[in-house]
Amino acid sequence: MNAADLGLPVDVPSTALFTDQYELTMLQAALRSGTADRRSVFEVFTRRLPDGRRYGVVAGTGRVLDAVENFRFDAGVLGFLRDREIVDESTIQWLASYRFGGDIWGYPEGEVYFPGSPILRVEGSFAECVLLETVILSILNHDSAIAAAASRMSTAAGGRGLIEMGARRTHELSAVASARAAYVGGFGSTSDLAAGFRYAIPTVGTSAHAFTLLHDSERDAFRAQVDSLGRGTTLLVDTYDVAEAVRRAVEIAGPELGAVRIDSGDLLLVAHRVRQQLDELGAANTKIVVTSDLDEYAIASLAAAPVDAYGVGTQLVTGSGHPTCSMVYKLVARARSADPRAPLEPVAKKSLGAKTSVGGRKWAARRVDAQGVAEAEVIGTQTVPPELVDRQLLVELVKGGEIVAREPLDAARERHVAALAGLPMSALQLSKGEPVLSTEYV
């Protein structure tokens, strides 16, 4: 299922202006110089992972496909470009019929990546490919950062439930994208209804402190919630006195009480006390949910606590300190003419700093050892070695402008679990370190 199929009201009519102005001015100059139709290959990659991270997570691929499909210059968009004199009239006429007609290959969503990995490869004329740079990077940089944070939190949670609840900590549309990326990375539900509506992610939520404060007593608040939502609801027990709240909660809902939520205090200590109290009151099956500015390190610190689920907001939707992946979109090969038979020639930026890149249209494969554990990310521009043919990572996403690889979001989620299982165990360490796989160019 995807947004285009659903025709949802949160869709934008066109993604064409989700771009930087210089994409259009480059197009105009290339059209004028006669180079716009040269066959070209662009690749998305990152030169480094965020400091201390062991792997990256590809997320947002499905949203990229939607964005490419909706990259259309309608009358309103063309009028804006004309009124602002951003490009000349001949370029506007070219844009009026723009449809991406090339090919896109990429790491499938949910896969892991490393420095230099050709996460996405976009092929076509220079003109049709260059326009997609900004929107592709904005989606992949954001979603992959959230998914990487979610993956680390999921590892730290050790199988316990994870709830995405960061909608109040980011832009309203970013919140939807964040919930989607978090789901790919291992979260099981979201508090954001737009994400549930758009991507069929399970949604959860019961009450905040305001509901308790609204009532004349905590008892009244709990009674109202249980009467409305049933005994399986989750009661928030830290508005006043936690121990007294837990006693009241079980008194009102009985041992069938679904869960209690703790949102403040020493979570490790309070969780132990609440678990003991629930058991003593006969509510042994009542779950404990903790929230309150959690990140992967806080979750890991609660591994010994009797916690059943974690709710995570701010740190998740900001990438746990790394809100972008520093991905770039670079021209790596192009033809010398517009002749479709002209061979591709590698091109690459040369720099005195760290912004160098490797030219050539690339393939990527993951070499494994005798036990099937990944040991290197192998990248090349020539023929794929026979032993790596079945280990290639890029899959065809768009062919001749037609999307050929849409998939359910759960497929990406399941792929991520499998990808992590194939990495060395050190990939799952939260301590700072180098990428768990080296990148080899052949």
pLDDT in tens, 277-313: 999 999 999 999 999 999 999 999 999 999 999 999 9
Average pLDDT, the chain: 95
Q: Determine the average pLDDT of the residues in 37-58.
A: 96
Residue 7 pLDDT greater than 50, yes or no: no
Give residue 356's pLDDT band: very low, low, confident or very high (50, 70, 90): confident
Tell me the pLDDT tens digit for each residue of 164-178. 999 999 999 999 999
Q: Determine the average pLDDT of the residues in 328-350.
A: 94
Supply the DSSP symbol for 203. Answer: B
pTM of the model: 0.94
DSSP string, 343-409: PEEE-----SSS-----S--EEEEEE-TTS-EEEEEEESSPPPGGGGGGB--EEEEETTEE-----H
* Backbone phi, psi, residue 298, to 5°: -65, -40
DSSP string, 5-46: HHT-TTS-S--TTSS-HHHHHHHHHHHHHT-TTSEEEEEEEE
The single residue listed with the structure tokens 């470009």 is 81
Closest residue by Cα to residue 436 from 153, 158, 112: 112
Residue 437 has a pLDDT of 97
Closest residue by Cα to residue 288 from 271, 267, 302: 271
> Residue 412 in contact with residue 108, Cβ under 8 Å?
yes
